[in-house]
Structure 1
Amino acid sequence: MINPVQQLAALIGVSAAGWLASTALRGFSAEIAGVRFGRIDTIFTFAGLIVIAGGFYASAALRSADGPAQPAPEPAAAR
């Protein structure tokens, strides 16, 4: 069930990046702290920021998760 969702997310991401590069960011150029950013650089930068944010979210979620399940103690042998 997860594989089709991953494929759909990849398809949407590629489509959105293609649309941004061909229409919304056409002719985009900026310079920040002496570094020049074009339309493709901007798309990759924001994609990287989303990946980093996802890593921080996963890190926080895993820290608050319970550890591995402990096996139930065995009852004392009847004498």
Structure 2
Amino acid sequence: MHRFFFDLLVDNVVKIDPGGMVFEQAKATVVVADEMARHLFVWRDDLRDRDAWIRVRDAGGREIYRAAVWAESEEKVGWDQA
């Protein structure tokens, strides 16, 4: 099992995930990061119009994935506009 960290990047500010989560395979973190980003898009309207990302890091600090809080392939409509 490996520990991965899910940091929130907003513009030039990084909010570090202090505890992380444990996964058997790194591929699982992509699904989790994408779901976190979707959740933030829906519930945090202050992040919608900014450069906001979920960054996945391994225990060594290496970035392995980034999920945008918005998705180019989906309409940018939040819960309050649906």
Q: Quick check: TM above 0.5?
A: no
TM-score between both structures, scaled by the size of structure 2: 0.33
Higher helix share: 1
Higher strand share: 2
Question: Greater relative contact order (Cα 8 A, min sep 6): structure 1 or 2?
Answer: 2
Larger Rg: 1
